[in-house]
Amino acid sequence: MSEKSQTNEALQSASARDRRVLELCEQVLEIEQRLIPTGLHVFGRVAEEAANVDMLRMVASFDRPESGARALPDLVAEGLGFGPYAQLLEASKQSVLRLKERERVDEVVQAAIELFVNAREEASCTWLEETARVKREESRPIFSLLSKILEQLSENQELESLSRALRGEYIESGPGADIVQNPEILPTGRNTHAVNPYTVPSEIAYARAEGTVNRLLERHLREHGRYPNAMALVLWGLDNIKTQGEGVAQALWLLGVRPSRDAMNRATNIEVIPLERLRRPRIDVVMTVSGIFRDLFGATMNLLDKAVRAVALLDEPLEMNYVRRNIEEQMRADACAFDEAALRVFSNAPGNYGTNVNFMVMDSQWEQDSALGDLFVTRKCFAYGRDAKGNAVEGREARRAMERALTRVEAAYQNIDTFEIGITDVDHYFEYLGGISKAVEKRARVRPAIYLSDSLSADHKIRSLEETVRLETRAKTLNPKWYEGMLKHGFRGVAEIENHISNTFGWSATADAVEDWVYTEVAKTFVLDEEMLDRLRNLNPHSARSLVGRLLEAQGRGFWKADANVLEKLREIFAGLEDQLEGIV
């Protein structure tokens, strides 16, 4: 080998190594910066101020035009001469120098918020001017907003409001969201009002959804070599209230349409985005909406249904319009009418809620793998929208139409709208996104790619389900900051830890998305560590037993290849816990 090519090779492997190190660094930062709840909200009680630092930092990370405030990371990055923060974020994935600059910005932002919590507005503005050349006129609006938030957080009218409500008195109303999305939700303890479905999706939600859908489709194309023929989407009510319809807007973007408003400014119609502007095929979407969504967003279900029908009738090449291609194919194969083949909005039967997949998993009531997906379809195969004559289809059972639509699905997706609740905090994510993925797996004969978006991240992050499970496990379940926060709540805290592990198990059951190390580390942290096991057992022996039982079930069902000695130890501990509960020891 020539000297030159040897040098080239060395340089190449050095730069490959640098890239890998930067990638790892990015992943570690992601875990570190993930906002996690460190304990439960206690009704009627005010949280300690120090516990608010991370949340205030998140509030300050976004532009707040309604308060005339710019995002603090932008102000600091510009003050330090590093340019806009979003560019720095992107560049820091490629360059060590830019990564150092980003870390400097993050440190300054963090320190400014801590100073604010300890010494308030003036002190932070002065310090930022001295340290990062941020003019006080520029930083004052964001700190004024944070001052208002802190003040509102320091009083809590929840108990008072509850007793007033019980006396039948009037309770002031307030919007529903989380604090980062909309600080106007404070003070809590008000009568949460929802949204006018005719305003959904808002302009902002529609604009944000474009970036998310682009990233999603780019990722799928990169990893699978083509666009998904059809996607299964999960739409929830509370999510779309909080984001003013980001999930709905994402469905519209996949189809390649925009909402249009009537004379009363209601989003009742759609406008087609020309293919030349879209520059990609229109993706077919099968939408399963929750019972809450169905109850709140009747007008929106009609809008989505209308969008599918309009796109299916466009005179466009089939390879650029998957909706038309799939519907025509189905009409031919099944000799069915357009109205039947075009059904794409599904929910529960009227008056029914939920998929029950979570109950089947939690109660270990399934044998065949496919039972979970079949249950999902049984619960969710009721169609909504309008037929060609304009008559409402309000929850007619349409199992065959739904199953046929699912056979073409190549990717499943749900928008995550909040930092407060993640995919292992509650059993609803796996019952919906896991449930539909399992239903697709049997009907399409292949497991779909499964994605989630983080609509709160500045760069519309798209993660695979596996990546999200890993992130949640590291940022929460195995993070002492998280579980110690839970353990402060005693009995309830242990139940929360056990819930997390059972919800993680739900992702094995529905989507095989949990790697062995997750269960191995859970066993080490909560069961094989004697001191920890004693704490759990003393605080809540029922949940401690369920936790160990769940690990044994994961092994028994083939979700976890556990070491034989670990398994034996778990069995022994399980038997001990049973004896303790039965009062034998």
Q: Where does this chain bind ligand BEZ (CB under 6 A)? A: 236-239, 290, 292-293, 428
Minimum distance, C-beta of residue 395 to ligand BEZ, in the bound complex (Å): 16
- Pairing mode of beta strands 230-235, 409-416: parallel
Give yes or no for a contact between 55 and 153, defined as CB atoms under 8 angstroms apart: no
Q: What is the dihedral of CA 502, 507, 513, 516, to 10 degrees?
A: 20
Q: Output the CA–CA distances (angstroms, integers) from residue 234 to 47, 71, 285, 295, 395, in the order listed.
A: 33, 31, 10, 15, 17
CA-wise closest residue to 152 among 128, 112, 182: 182
Minimum distance, C-beta of residue 108 to ligand BEZ, in the bound complex (Å): 37
Task: Provide CB contacts within 8 A for 160, sequence distance 6+.
Answer: 189
> Looking at beta carbons only, is 380 or 404 nearer to ligand BEZ?
380
Minimum distance, C-beta of residue 319 to ligand BEZ, in the bound complex (Å): 35
Minimum distance, C-beta of residue 504 to ligand BEZ, in the bound complex (Å): 18
> Looking at beta carbons only, is 58 or 292 nearer to ligand BEZ?
292
Give yes or no for a contact between 253 and 213, defined as CB atoms under 8 angstroms apart: yes
CA-wise closest residue to 134 among 88, 91, 63, 71: 71
Minimum distance, C-beta of residue 245 to ligand BEZ, in the bound complex (Å): 13
- Residue ranges of the alpha helices (H) in 133-202? 136-153, 158-166
- Residues 346 and 381: their CA atoms lie apart, in Å, by 6
> Looking at beta carbons only, is 439 or 518 nearer to ligand BEZ?
439
Give yes or no for a contact between 88 and 102, defined as CB atoms under 8 angstroms apart: yes
> Looking at beta carbons only, is 156 or 358 nearer to ligand BEZ?
358
> Looking at beta carbons only, is 340 or 420 nearer to ligand BEZ?
420
Give yes or no for a contact between 37 and 89, defined as CB atoms under 8 angstroms apart: no
Interior angle at CA 179, CA 174 and CA 181, nearest 5 = 95
Tokens of 160: 């008072």
- Pairing mode of beta strands 345-347, 284-289: parallel
> Looking at beta carbons only, is 433 or 551 nearer to ligand BEZ?
433
First to last CA, the chain: 73
Minimum distance, C-beta of residue 210 to ligand BEZ, in the bound complex (Å): 23
> Looking at beta carbons only, is 91 or 299 nearer to ligand BEZ?
299
Residue 321 phi/psi, 5° resolution? -140, 90
Task: Provide CB contacts within 8 A for 150, sequence distance 6+.
Answer: 49, 52, 56, 117
Minimum distance, C-beta of residue 234 to ligand BEZ, in the bound complex (Å): 9
> Looking at beta carbons only, is 237 or 549 nearer to ligand BEZ?
237
> Looking at beta carbons only, is 255 or 292 nearer to ligand BEZ?
292
Question: For residue 464, is it left (φ>0), alpha (ψ between -120 and 50) or beta?
Answer: beta
Minimum distance, C-beta of residue 7 to ligand BEZ, in the bound complex (Å): 59
Give yes or no for a contact between 305 and 384, defined as CB atoms under 8 angstroms apart: yes
> Looking at beta carbons only, is 237 or 435 nearer to ligand BEZ?
237
> Looking at beta carbons only, is 205 or 342 nearer to ligand BEZ?
205
> Looking at beta carbons only, is 73 or 237 nearer to ligand BEZ?
237
- Residues 285 and 249: their CA atoms lie apart, in Å, by 12
- Residues 401 and 346: their CA atoms lie apart, in Å, by 10
Minimum distance, C-beta of residue 236 to ligand BEZ, in the bound complex (Å): 3
Give yes or no for a contact between 471 and 463, defined as CB atoms under 8 angstroms apart: yes
Say how many C-beta atoms besides its own lie within 10 A of residue 445's C-beta.
8
Minimum distance, C-beta of residue 240 to ligand BEZ, in the bound complex (Å): 8
Minimum distance, C-beta of residue 436 to ligand BEZ, in the bound complex (Å): 13
Minimum distance, C-beta of residue 233 to ligand BEZ, in the bound complex (Å): 13
- Residues 139 and 1: their CA atoms lie apart, in Å, by 59
Minimum distance, C-beta of residue 432 to ligand BEZ, in the bound complex (Å): 7
> Looking at beta carbons only, is 199 or 414 nearer to ligand BEZ?
414
- Residues 309 and 385: their CA atoms lie apart, in Å, by 10
Task: Provide CB contacts within 8 A for 333, sequence distance 6+.
Answer: none
Minimum distance, C-beta of residue 418 to ligand BEZ, in the bound complex (Å): 11
> Looking at beta carbons only, is 253 or 429 nearer to ligand BEZ?
429
Say how many C-beta atoms besides its own lie within 10 A of residue 28's C-beta.
11
